[in-house]
Structure 1
Amino acid sequence: MEEDNDMLENQLKQWDAQYDVIVVGFGGAGATAARFAADNGAKVLLVDSAPKGHEGGNTRYCGQLIMSGTDETEIRKYYLALNGPMNHESKITDAYTKNLAHMQGYLKKYLGVKPVSVRELIEKGHSQRKILEPMTPEYPELPGADNFDFLLVHEQFSDGALWKILRQKVVDRSEKIDVWFETPAKHLIQANDGKKIKGIQVDRAGNQLNIEAKNGVILTLGGFENNKDMIQNYVGEPMIGPIGTLYNQGKGIDLAIEAGADLWHMQATSGLTNLLKEKTGQRPSLVMGPALTVGSVIRVGDDGTRYQNENKTQRHGYLSNHGLWRVPHTQVQPFMIFDQTQHEEMVANKIYQPLLDAEIKDTTIAGLATMIKVPADKLARTVSDFNEGFRIGSDEFKRELQTMRKFDEGPYYAVPLGNFILNTQGGPRRNERAEVVGVDQQPIPGLYAAGELGSIWGGQYQGGGNISDCLIFGKIAGENAATKKKDLDDNVANQPKVKKIKVTSDIQPSQNKYVVKENQYIGKSQAGMGDDIVVRVTITPQDKNLKKIEILQQSETGELGTVAVNKLSHEMIEKNTPDVAVISGASISSNAIKEAVKNALSQIK
């Protein structure tokens, strides 16, 4: 069937395939929705636009921290205070906060893990306490904050561990869930009444296929971080680069609008600072450390003047603004400006090497201003004002004196920074049953949503809130969509027949059998950001030295992950040990490769 630009009507000659439930988007919410739909008797199709190994949405890349509480009343107070003074809807708020209070039981029952309390990790002096403590909670001054806690599936974070469990739950149900990668949704398909959602049209290897959903379609496509037009229209910024997945293109917004959905929280975003500008289409690396915020270092905007307290506490990109916390407007091209002493500290602290590689250097402020194309007089005045503020002990942006140091006489450095976003929150408005509602606030029959696409977050954001949204509303959506609906039966004459093309799922339980010869061993690791890393290690027969390391399977993310895979293999052979230094900016991928090689070597008798 030819594709058009409008909402497709149910005037098809035939369906190409038929399922009980179709889930669009294979991230945390989609994996959860598909799993629970299958557990409630549905045959499920799960489609994603990303290629295999890059699915997962932002759940794949996030800190794996899950928002939770222990008391329904107190955690509800905290959520409402975070979203104040925005309006809220009682029923969906209740559905969310009641489940937050029982998240420990959720993880035990449905994910099969013993939840780890981050508050307890902090009390025990966890190695990453300095990172975790300011977020646990992020808004300690608000009512109910004392009831907040993060949960983890084990004692580490930012390692994809939760995502791998959610993905495996889908794999374990391969008899009930078919997965199609690189299969973007094109349109929703409505019944003749113009309301009921009957299925979707997808692009499968260049073929436009119309797939019937007998009971419901669940939208879990994430946000619109990678859609420049939507960022400009809804957020009001020229462009903000994504920190997470590159596949959140805003298609869920288009589909929702086609169906007549009401939209909410479209302006709400979460972001971070201290990010090095990257090439278009590449995920940035978060660069942290006092060398970037303490000392003779400032940030300037498009006119060469400072625009913030560089050392100020930020809460997922939100900065304090006269009593409330708000995401500030971005600069088109911000720069970090620093002197020779600061540069030497960065080198000594082994700061992220690509940041040092991006340095622009000149002996004078005027020369540096010319190189970065900002007014020389304004940049000179900015540095002079910073130095004067340090001298008199009063900074114009209220930066604490102990975090400041007078700039040297030169040379001077600039590093271009980027404006980045963790995720958007906006999308189709949903109710407590995860049903998408129209502009009349009535449910659109057969249409559901969960996760960051139309999330429950519209005000100040607490870390872990989106992951809990994925788990809670993914489950609700999956269970409700799986329920057979009599009113979705098409009673009109000449309804489309089902062609039932041969369906092959792109994901199956692992059946890989790797060939090994004498002096060869297979090693595996699940510690990377992608799927399992599998290596084949060949050793010399006499002295058992490393001779060859072959990467048989890996889907590590981004350019640095691929670099780590290739570089470490060569270095291990050269040094004849897996105990080599990790690649800066790719420590998780590096450690996973090392673990896989060690796993192979442990089999030598």
Structure 2
Amino acid sequence: MQYQPSQPEKWDIETDVVVVGFGAAGVAAAVTAHDLGAEVVILEKAPEGQEGGNTRVAGQGYLNTSSVDKAIAYLTALCGDYTVPEAMVKVWAEEMCQNNAWLESLGGDPQEHQHQPVGIEFPELPGSDCVHKFHDGPTYGYSLTWKRFESLVKQRPIPIFYETPGRALIQHDLTKEILGVKAQQGDAFIYVKARRGVVLTCGGFENNQEMIRNYLPGVPYCYTSGTPYNEGDGITMAMSVGADLWHMNNYAGPSMALKVPEVRTTFSMQSLHFSKIIPGGMIVVGPDAKRFTDEKYKTCHGKVPVNGRWMPLSTPCPMFLIFDHAMFSAGPLYDKNPSHGWTQIIERYDWSEDNRAELAKGWIKTADTISALASVVGLDPTTLDDTVSRWNHHCEAEHDAEFGRTLMLAPIVDAPFYAVELSPSMLNTQGGPRRNEKGQIVRPNGTPIPRLYSAGELGSIYSYLYQGTGNIGECLAFGRVSGRHAAAETPWQ
């Protein structure tokens, strides 16, 4: 592996702790280190106005557990056979119980989500009743909790350098200590000295197709509904200084969504939302023109039960949403209300009310018959005709004999007919450099790389199953852990 640059002749910026990434984990690390007396600088890849990572565009919930012992039992059960060291589980559980107290101590207003215990993703697992999902302030969604997190940094003298991605870690030749970060600004590089430590909080690799092909099972490609700036930078930086990796095959997905070249992130189709009932008939087929799942099934963040195991939802590519004119004319296929998701909140694409602008763009295909529609999208006409006919018979019988679907049992009969190509989609990946209970990034032999820490989705603790709101909760928990330990380092000379 190529050796990273040694200490430069001149440092452009000097500080105690460098935090790479400005999402919830970066906030918690930076605020904690600052409040313990360390000088802190944040390097952020996105331009100002698009910072916040997945935290900004997620549902805005964070996990606060009500019992350390029950949280230990629940996380251990979530891990299944993919065990996480007991010391890590213990620290996670202890810190998760402190998320509300920490936020309140800084002026926040934690409010529990309504409809508990519906938010418990795996209620059958031991300790699950410790799960409590919170957000800041009276309203859920719309980046409001992120705005609280962001304000904690903005209230402090913590410089934020936007459009300044970290590109390499600067490591001492002999001691292997991390001395700082080589970052990019435009076509130039700057060197940022970290007298005490570096904390990587720059997210996963959900917008890096090569890493997706290498690490994620079952998806030849996958597109993000979250920030497009998470391209695995922290993974490559950490690997280059000797870091081990873990949980690289785990991710919050897949779902099925529309991805077009004109927009960086995905569109979630309203008809595929578990809880939404849309007039008209629809199914989803794979490249063989056959259905492969209950299209209205509610996954557990992309996981479905298969033969006694939880596995990622099958997404045979390419996939096509097939529907009739009754659905097309019922209203917009995409909900542009800016409650969550990068496309809704940041891109703000103005989807037409009658879907005709998207039809004209070619995002939606149409034909007068199912056979003709199959030819338009490259499917076998006879097979698609048979698949739609079989679906229509299921609707007549009010029973989906193939996949047990119970919602929107409406036949596809109202011509013309339409198709939208769907792609696998996800909010985030969980894998990255392995960390220990102090937030230190470690080598394959388990020893820490001196002065290098991480938090958040970059090397998340979630190895198998994932509890909703757990990522932002972990960002806060291990952001504090890493911030505390980085601030406690003795400055190097």
The normalised TM-score by structure 1 is 0.73
Q: Which moved more, 1:367-376 or 1:197-206?
A: 197-206
Report deviation, 1:64.
0.8
Counterpart check, 1:208 vs 2:208: no
- Structure 2 partner of 1:19: 15
Partner of residue 270, structure 1: 252
- Residues 453 and 482 of structure 2 are in contact (CA less than 8 Å); yes or no, is this contact kept in structure 1? yes
Give 1:92's match in structure 2, choosing from 80, 88, 95. 88
CA distance in 2, matches of 1:349, 1:279: 17
Query: Secondary structure of 1:269's match?
Result: coil
Distance 2:334 2:21 in 1: 41
Match of 1:245 among 214, 219, 227: 227
Q: Give, as a single letter, the amino acid of the residue that structure 1 aligns with 2:176.
A: K
Q: Measure, in 1, the Cα distance between the counterparts of 2:7 and 2:71.
A: 48
Query: What is the match of residue 60 of structure 2?
Result: 64
Displacement of 1:328 after TM fit?
2.3
Match of 2:343 in 1: none
1:371 corresponds, among 348, 361, 376, to 376
1:33–1:476 CA contact under 8 A, matched in 2: yes
**Which residue does the alignment assign to 1:387?**
392
Q: CA deviation at 1:405?
A: 2.6
Contact residue 295 and residue 405 of structure 2 kept, 8 A: no
- Structure 1 residue aligned with 2:425: 420
Deviating more after overlay: 414-423 vs 215-224 = 414-423
- Aligned residue identity for 2:111: V
1:291–1:345: 8 Å Cα contact kept in structure 2? no
Q: CA deviation at 1:188?
A: 0.6
SS in 1 for 2:435: coil
2:187 and 2:325 mapped to 1: Cα distance?
55
SS of aligned partner of 1:367: helix
- The counterpart of 1:48, out of the listed 20, 44, 48, is 44
Q: Which amino acid aligns with 2:300?
A: R
Asked whether the 8 Å contact 2:278–2:330 carries over to 1, the reply is no
Work out the CA distance in 1 between the residues paired with 2:478 and 2:98: 14
- Aligned partner (choices 143, 160, 171) of residue 190 of structure 1: 171
Q: Distance in 1 between matches of 2:122 and 2:280?
A: 27
Which residue type is aligned with residue 110 of structure 2? P
1:7–1:187 contact (8 Å) kept in structure 2? no
Deviation at 1:227, TM superposition (A): 0.8
2:288 is aligned with 1:288: no
Structure 1's 13 and 141: CA in aligned 2 closer, same or farther, altered over 3 A?
same
**Structure 1 278/295 Cα, relative in aligned 2: closer, same or farther at 3 Å?**
same
What letter matches 2:436 in structure 1? Answer: N
Q: Counterparts of 1:303-382 in structure 2 under 5 Å? A: 303-346=288-331, 353=352, 357-358=358-359, 359-382=364-387
1:494-543 Cα offsets, whole Å, 9 max, x none, are xxxxxxxxxxxxxxxxxxxxxxxxxxxxxxxxxxxxxxxxxxxxxxxxxx
Give SS of 2:257's match. Answer: coil
Cα distance in structure 2, aligned partners of 1:247 and 1:409: 42
Alignment of 1:167-178 (within 5 A): 167-174=150-157, 177-178=158-159
CA distance in 1, matches of 2:462, 2:279: 33
Supply the distance in 1 between the matched residues of 2:144 and 2:93 (Cα, whole angstroms): 24
2:162 to 181, 191, 203: 181
- Tell me how far apart the structure 1 counterparts of residues 202 and 335 of structure 2 sit (CA, whole Å): 38
Q: How is 1:414-453 mapped onto 2 (pairs within 5 angstroms)?
A: 414-453=419-458
- Match of residue 228, structure 1, among 209, 226, 230: 209
Partner of 1:156: 139
- Following superposition of structure 1 onto structure 2, how do residues 77-88 of structure 1 map, counting pairs within 5 Å? 77-88=73-84
1:259 equivalent to 2:252? Answer: no
Alpha carbons of 1:179 and 1:169: their partners in 2 closer, same or farther (altered >3 Å)?
same
Query: Using the alignment, how far apart are the partners of 1:53 and 1:402 within structure 2?
Result: 39
1:39 corresponds to: 35
| Structure 1 residue identity aligned to 2:231 | Q
Query: Counterparts of 1:391 and 1:36 in 2: how far apart (Å)?
Result: 61
Paired residue for 1:113, among 97, 103, 108?
108
SS, match of residue 380 in structure 1: helix
* Alpha-carbon distance between aligned partners in 1 of 2:302 and 2:407, rounded to the nearest angstrom: 23
What is aligned with 2:480? 475
Q: Residues of 1 paired with 2:455 and 2:30: CA distance? A: 11
Q: Percent identity?
A: 34
Residues 348 and 365 of structure 1: CA distance in aligned 2, closer, same or farther (over 3 Å)? closer
CA distance in 1, matches of 2:333, 2:154: 46
Question: Aligned partner of 1:162: which letter?
Answer: T
Segment drifting more, 295-304 vs 8-17: 8-17
Q: Is the 8 A contact 2:7 2:170 kept in 1?
A: no
Moved more, 474-483 or 157-166: 157-166
Query: Counterparts of 1:337 and 1:462 in 2: how far apart (Å)?
Result: 32
Larger radius of gyration: 1
Q: Once the 2 structures are TM-superposed, how far is the Cα of residue 274 of structure 1 from its aligned partner?
A: 5.2
Counterparts of 1:572-587 in structure 2 under 5 Å?
Answer: none
Name the CA distance, whole Å, in 1 between partners of 2:3 and 2:165. 16
Residue 399 (structure 1) shift: 2.4
Quote the Cα distance in structure 1 between the aligned partners of 2:404 and 2:220. 28
Per-residue deviation at 1:385?
2.0
Return the alpha-carbon distance in structure 1 between the equivalents of residues 460 and 147 of structure 2: 22
The structure with higher relative contact order (CA 8 Å, sep 6+) is 2
Deviation at 1:145, TM superposition (A): 1.7
> Is 1:435–1:443's contact at 8 Å kept on the other side of the alignment?
yes
Post-superposition CA distance 1:433-480 (Å, at most 9, x none): 100000110111010000100011111111101001110111111111
More divergent stretch after superposition (189-198 vs 347-356)? 347-356
Task: Kindly state the Cα deviation for residue 315 of structure 1 after the two structures are TM-superposed.
Answer: 1.7
Instruction: Please tell me whether the aligned partners of residues 185 and 202 of structure 1 are also in contact (alpha carbons under 8 angstroms).
Output: yes
Query: Is the Cα–Cα contact under 8 Å of residues 390 and 401 in structure 1 kept in the other structure?
Result: no
Equivalent position SS for 1:473:
helix
Give the SS at the match of 1:88: coil
User: 2 CA distance for matches of 1:21 and 1:86?
Assistant: 32
Q: Are 2:23 and 2:55, in contact at CA under 8 Å, matched by a contact in 1? A: yes
Task: Look up the match of 2:342.
Answer: none
Indicate if the aligned counterparts of 1:196 and 1:445 stay in contact, CA closer than 8 A.
Answer: yes
* Pair 1:152–1:350, CA change in 2 (3 A): closer
Question: Which AA in structure 1 matches 2:443?
Answer: G
Contact 2:247 2:463 in 1 (8 A): yes
How far does the alpha carbon of each residue in 1:360-381 deviate from its partner, in whole angstroms, 9 at most, with x for none? 2222111010111111121112
Which blocks of at least 5 consecutive residues in structure 2 are unaligned? Answer: 337-350
Displacement after TM superposition at 1:272 (Å): 5.5
Question: Residues of 2 paired with 1:350 and 1:163: CA distance?
Answer: 21
Query: SS where residue 146 of structure 2 aligns?
Result: helix
Letter in 1 for 2:184: D
